[in-house]
Structure 1
Amino acid sequence: MKPVAILQHEAAQGPGILLDHLRQQDIPHVLLDPCAQGSAPANARDYRGIIVLGSNHCANEQLRWIENERCLLQSALQHDVPVLGHCFGAQMLARAMGARVWRNPCPNIGWSEVRITSRAQQLMDLPAQATLFNWHYDTFEIPQGASRTMYAQHCLNKGFVRGRHWAFQGHLEVTEASVRQWCSEGRSELQRASGPAVQSETQILAQLQPRVAQLHAMALRTYRAWTDQLDHQMSVSLGQPSEILSRFRLKSTDYLRMQL
């Protein structure tokens, strides 16, 4: 049976609680690493759904694997294969829909409040407002035919929906471990970044356990709403993704930490 493809680009930016949800629901899935492999699959019809995670790269960079991902998402749009984008993944989905991605007025790093539209509350089982984890410099315009789902004080477009395709300019999937790893790897970046929406490492890690627990409660409801849209198929096991995950440990640490 067709799996859900998870496109992961950085070791510290894995599927987290989303992977737990897929396993609990017995949804077949495969982890792909277009950044390390230098390319992405071409045909979205090979998958039941496509999940695109964050990246240290910018969605506008002229790299082969980024162009491959854009083409894959355009294939998903053409054949109505549901897409779920997180941060860089949301920007890539916006680009695939013909929308622009550009620099946000200020960096958005750390925990911040977002407001959620009434439609998104009903569709995605979300509350009226929530606290998301963020680490991004860019933003996107709402694509034609899509509607805004989230907005915040320092970033107007925090999410959109078009049909079965959902985008979040933030991270619902993070775990305590991934946030700590992200802060550790990005410590020099945190020391350089500044602005009204930038938190220090100390601020990010303060009350981390309850913040993540609250985020997971919302994320699991949201992920359940998205996976409920997937075409129903008999589940099969694809085995453990340890071999794929191990490749991330061998990846270079010299990635640009300019963008997500």
Structure 2
Amino acid sequence: MRPIAILQHESTQGPGVLRDHLDENGIPYRLISPMSDGKAPVDASKFSGIVVLGSDHCVNEILPWIEDERALLQDAIRRDVPVLGHCFGAQMLARAMGAKVSRNICPNIGWSQIWITPHAQQLMGLPRQATIFNWHYDTFEIPVGAIRTMYGSHCLNKGFIRGRHWAFQGHLEVTEESVKNWCAAGRAELLRAHGPAVQSETRILKELHDRIDALHTISDQTYRAWTRQLDRPAFVALNSASNPASSPASNLASSYA
């Protein structure tokens, strides 16, 4: 099976529970650091899926690695290689599909309730409402041909799907440790940010264990549903009667589905 490409941009925004899910299910992956490398791969055919994580950058910035990522996602869309975008990654996927990304009406930082559309409830096995973790200033339009999957009070478009490409304007992947580290690294930012959807560090960390447990239930359902779409090797048993030259040791052949 070809590996999943995981594009990580910030040390505080790693794959978290997504990585745990991939490890537990024996799904290979390759961690890529476009921001520190200054470039990203542009050929999606090398991967069985593309995951794009968050970033402190804006997708509208003209930087070589951002342009590489957009080219990679556009190639993935052409080849139907499944894409999973988290926050910045969701905005990148929307932009690659020709949708506009712009400033949200207010910053969305901390825990907030979202509503999940009936289609997404059925597809991902999710409840009607959930509380997810957010840290973003921008928002995306729903791309042509895509369907909204989640929406919120202070940010309307919290998710969309188009075929095997899924986007979430939030962070399903975070762990207790990563949220604590993120708050510590972003302490000055939290003091500067204001608005009805901005929480203080104290409020973000309050009841963190219970919030993370609830989020991981949502994450697990979502990641299971997304990875079920991946192309995997198909194992075909060869009939020894029709292939006399075959031996017991060579009775299995594999090819990519």
- Measure, in 1, the Cα distance between the counterparts of 2:218 and 2:79: 29
Residues 48-107 of structure 1 show CA distances to partners (whole Å, capped at 9, x for unaligned) of 000000000001001000000000000000000000000000000000000000000000
* Structure of greater relative contact order (alpha carbons < 8 Å, 6+ residues apart): 1
Task: Please identify runs of 4+ aligned residues in structure 1 that moved more than 3 A.
Answer: none
- Letter of the aligned partner of 2:122 in structure 1? Q
- Letter of the aligned partner of 1:107 in structure 2? P
Matched position secondary structure for 1:170? coil
- Letter of the aligned partner of 2:96 in structure 1? A
Aligned partner of 2:145 in structure 1 is 145
Cα drift, residue 15 of structure 1:
0.3
Cα drift, residue 217 of structure 1:
1.0
Q: How does 1:123-138 map to 2 (within 5 A)?
A: 123-138=123-138
Residues 17-43 of structure 1 show CA distances to partners (whole Å, capped at 9, x for unaligned) of 000000011000010000000010010
Identity of aligned residues (%): 68
Aligned partner of 1:243 in structure 2 is none
Cα drift, residue 176 of structure 1:
0.2
Cα drift, residue 233 of structure 1:
2.3
Aligned partner of 2:46 in structure 1 is 46
- Letter of the aligned partner of 1:182 in structure 2? W
Q: How does 1:1-260 map to 2 (within 5 A)?
A: 1-233=1-233
- Letter of the aligned partner of 2:188 in structure 1? S
Q: Please report the RMSD computed on the Cα atoms of aligned residues, expressed in angstroms.
A: 1.0
> Highest CA radius of gyration, 1 or 2?
2
Aligned partner of 2:253 in structure 1 is none
Q: Choose between structure 1 and 2: higher strand proportion.
A: 2
- Measure, in 1, the Cα distance between the counterparts of 2:38 and 2:60: 16
- Measure, in 1, the Cα distance between the counterparts of 2:86 and 2:222: 13
- Measure, in 2, the Cα distance between the counterparts of 1:43 and 1:160: 24
- Unpaired runs of 5+ in structure 1? 235-260
- Measure, in 1, the Cα distance between the counterparts of 2:38 and 2:147: 32
Aligned partner of 2:252 in structure 1 is none
Q: TM-score, normalised by structure 1?
A: 0.89
- Measure, in 2, the Cα distance between the counterparts of 1:217 and 1:148: 21
Q: TM-score, normalised by structure 2?
A: 0.90
- Measure, in 2, the Cα distance between the counterparts of 1:49 and 1:6: 9
- Unpaired runs of 5+ in structure 2? 235-257
